[in-house]
Amino acid sequence: MSTVLVANRGEIACRIFRTCREAGIRTVAVYSDADENALHARVADAAVRLPGAASADTYLRGDLIVKAAAAAGADAVHPGYGFLSEHAGFARAVTDAGLTWIGPPPQAIEAMASKTRAKELMGIAPLTHVTEADLPVLVKASAGGGGRGMRVVRRLADLDAELTAARAEAASAFGDGEVFVEPYVENGRHVEVQILADTHGTVWALGTRDCSLQRRHQKVIEEAPAPGLGASLTRDLYEQAVRAARAVDYVGAGTVEFLVADGRAHFLEMNTRLQVEHPVTEAVFGLDLVALQLRVAEGHALENDPPRARGHAVEARLYAEDPARSWAPQTGRLHRLTVPDGIRLDTGYTDGDDIGVHYDPMLAKAVAHAPTRAEAVRRLAGALERAAVHGPVTNRDLLVRSLRHEEFTSARMDTGFYDRHLAALTEPAHDPLVPLAAALADASAHAGRFGGWRNLPSQPQVKRYATAGGEHEVRYHHTRAGLTAEGVRVVHADARLVVLESDGVRRRYEVARHGDRIHVGTATLTALPRFPDPTAQHAPGSLLAPMPGTVVRVAEGLTEGTSVQAGQPLLWLEAMKMEHKITAPATGTLTALRAVPGQQVAVGSLLAVVRAA
């Protein structure tokens, strides 16, 4: 092959392009209108527009992608992950067009793409009639992935509503609304096996990965190898994974996923594609899985045995989201994203890029590799803590705290980790010197030609800031000696660096300001006017859009004047390919309903008002 089109976007497209460039292969990107200036469209050798912004009109249009390959002179197509990566019809369309498909045969995708058929192939039957005795159960999209189209149901009365929601979300994300129901195993570990197979009958089992730390059934932190499994269980996982691959004559890279509970491995599904978390396997085995995908697609044989695993690797997914506010996705300008040397960063963004509303909110994956698990975990936590992430709210602090949590460091985590610990992990950090550092940096940046000192005594300067922990008022003075603050020695202050000494301890604060947002180390503050605008108020009980998105539906029968119960679902927003439920804040009466299905809303838009009883 000489030219590869990547039928995807963002981080995975950029990652595949990197390997292609190293192999001397030309690259072609496809991009939607929303991605016209996206990094993957900029770094490819050629790029073809897919008109529209919605996934259904662009990245899920296999016919347009095949035409784009022909127009750009590509002779091979790599699907990445998500979108059409597990769509047998797309794989056939690619090969029918005379192009090389960098993935498994269409019949293998077909056999495993539906999770219901995959379970039947492995001898597992889904639930067809749910009773109270079966609860809790998991509603799952047959063609799904990434937690979309998935719901945990704990009350039989909720089943129909959750089936409807799962079907709608699955249809939107994958173009297929089929769902099924299976028993939900509480607090198991999510463990998977990376496989790689060639066309000559060789199948590699490339170790295990633990992906138990998840939010909304979507992985957050992954590692290889999965710790503490034991030789017998690991051998069973390998054998089941290889058996699944051989059952469908698999070719290429794939992943077989399991839920491990009570010392046993329960088959979940087979993902017939490259996984998001593949870098941890690459780090441990010293391989480039994309390069091996290319070689296998060209007909080359694998060695009889894979290389030996060395050390431990941990990956954290950095999302533009607010974990403390129901994981609400965030949008806006990403001003800066850097991590310390020695950490692998896979990303589809560069400084100055905009994070939009149309696609997944993942900004990057940070990966650390070390001789032992403890060293890898410590290295990744330290690097994330020192990383510069300037822009919308992210889950960076949550990642650092998760990596340092005793359950994780002792490898006792399971899929219920965030259900148990989210409140503690998102408790606002409090460093009383952070607002002062922001104020002193701002004062230094705006000092006049002769500085801010005045010959006559004056009142202290006052600045106000908002943080996740509340509002803070800061007071400081301009003096002949420079900036001063009560109880703190100002060692140094300029627009980018403030050094303060308190109780004999000296601390450095790196400061960056973008508009009214100030980043001080890992903390983010918003500059407030000294006197609040009295007109910027909403009626009590107002429900404001927590994110930009689209109103996909309003609860049936809901009109102004309707009585509602606290926690009752009122409407649903779709943002970044996920549905977000908006509920009544209190029991009372719906006095206003502004949301209409299909309506595009901005952050802070008034959706409804509930007057508490």
Please identify every residue annotated as catalytic.
273
Pairing of strands 388-390, 336-338: antiparallel
Residue 506 CB coordination number (10 Å): 11
Alpha-carbon 108 to chain mean position: 28
Pairing of strands 189-197, 151-153: unpaired
- Strand ranges (DSSP E) for 88-234? 100-101, 137-141, 151-153, 179-183, 189-197, 203-215, 218-224
Q: Identify the CA nearest to 222 among candidates 285, 278, 306.
A: 278
Q: Which residue type does 593 have?
A: L
CA pair distance 30, 104, nearest whole angstrom? 22
Q: Which residue type does 151 have?
A: R
Quickly tell me which residue has 């001397």 as its tokens. 24
Residue 275 CB coordination number (10 Å): 22
Q: Which residue type does 2 have?
A: S
Residue 157 CB coordination number (10 Å): 7
- The SS3 call for residue 207 is strand
User: Could you tell me the two tokens for 536?
Assistant: 């910027």
User: Could you tell me the two tokens for 38?
Assistant: 């996206």
Burial of 409 (0-12, 13-18, 19+ CB in 10 A): middle
User: Could you tell me the two tokens for 80?
Assistant: 């990445």
CA pair distance 10, 313, nearest whole angstrom? 23
User: Which residues, at least 6 apart from 469, have a Cβ–Cβ distance to it below 8 Å?
Assistant: 428, 429, 430
Q: List, as one string, the DSSP characters of 281-347.
A: HHHHHT--HHHHHHHHHTTPPPPSSPPPP-SEEEEEEEESEEGGGTTEE--EE--EEE--TT-EEEE
User: Which residues, at least 6 apart from 407, have a Cβ–Cβ distance to it below 8 Å?
Assistant: 413, 417, 421
